[in-house]
Structure formats: structure tokens, C-alpha cells
A = this chain, B = another copy of it.
Amino acid sequence: MPDPIDFYFDFASPYGYFASLRIDELAAAHGRTVTWRPILLGAVFKVTGMKPNLEQPLRGEYLTLDAGRIARLLNAPFTFPDSAPVNGVAASRAFYWLADEHPEQAKLLARALYHAHFAEGRDIGPADTVAEIAARSLGSLGIDRAAVSAALQDQSVKDRLRAATDEAVERGVFGSPFVIVDDEPFWGWDRLEMVDRWLATGGW
């Protein structure tokens, strides 16, 4: 069994959302699985000196147009959230709280959070909102809002997210989505076709 491919993303990233809709299916077509790794681009930008796309003059306006255009092309449910760029700390912590023991449910939660934000336009920044969405998505695990809220304040969960972001920077991750296939890095939703080809051919 070959290693999983790594899918780094920020919950604030619409391009990460679009990639999340396809990455598992894409990998599965080549017999690969995907390890999801939410990160905080805000911490990455401190290394690279960059700013969120939305806050860059000209690029912010383009991003809004481009994301809507991609959503229509993919026929993906999409609303540009008023809360963009959202703070993904609580959402990412909730993911890592689950990731080791319940990796599939962690992905399920990530999909639910992305959907709430980019399909329904909800602000997924507040811990209470994340707890509500998690309790609803993970009812089968017997998880309630209080358990999620407690986990979001757990120091080991906080540390886990910080370590994940640090590790991403060490691997050269500087944007979202960012896919690494056997040490080969691919930045951007628009590189998924190339990831597909790389997986099919083993590289060129």
C-alpha cells in the first residue's frame, strides 16, 4: 500500500473548499488515500511575509469573482461568506481532536465545516458554532457540544494544531490547498489536474 497523499488546507480558503470536494475521489482512482491536514495560513504568512488574498488590493476582488466562477463551473454549492476570511482556529482544533482516533469522522467534520462556511455562508469562527456543527455531524460517536467545547480548550489539542502548522511550513507549504504526493508539492486548486496526472504516471 503506497503512502497517503497529504492535503493541507485552511478553513478560510475557498480554493481549499473546492479541492476538498474532489481530493479523496481523485486519489482513490489511483489507489491512494488522503491525509487531511488543516493549518492556519495566518501563521504561515508570518514566515512568508504575505497577506490573505482577500486583503490584497485588486487580488481580493478577483478572488471573489474567480471563486464564484469556479463554483458555477463545478456546480458546487457556494456563497461568499460575509465572515471571510474566517478564523479557522476552532474548526482546525476540532479536526485534530478527532484525527488520531477517528480519522474518517474528522474528515466528515471538516467537510461539514467547509459546507457550513462556503455553501451556507455561516461564520465558522466562533467555538460555539464549531461545537454545534460537530455535535450534529458526529452524533454517531456520542459527542455533544459540551465535549467539543471542552476539547477546543484542551492544551494538547492547541499544541497539535500549532505543530501541524509548523510541520507544514517545514515541508514548504505556503498556501491552501497544498497537496504533497511522495514529496512532490502542488499548490492550488488549479493543480489538481496535475496531481491526477502525477499519480497516474509517477511523475515526469
| A→B interface (CB under 8 Å) | 44, 47-51, 56-59, 61-62, 65-66, 69, 72-73, 169, 172-175, 185, 187-188, 190-191, 194, 197, 204
Contacts and interface: CB of A to CB of B under 8 A. Distances in A.
A72 to B, nearest CB: 5
Contact of A172 (B61, B175, B194, B204): B61
Contact of A48 (B57, B169, B188): B57
B56 A50 contact: yes
A175 B62 CA distance: 11
A117 to B, nearest CB: 23
Given A49-B51, A66-B187, A187-B66, A172 B73 contact: no
Leading 3 A-B pairs by shortest Cβ distance:
A190-B190, A58-B174, A48-B57
Given A47-B57, A57-B47, A62-B172, A190 B187 contact: no
A204 B73 contact: yes
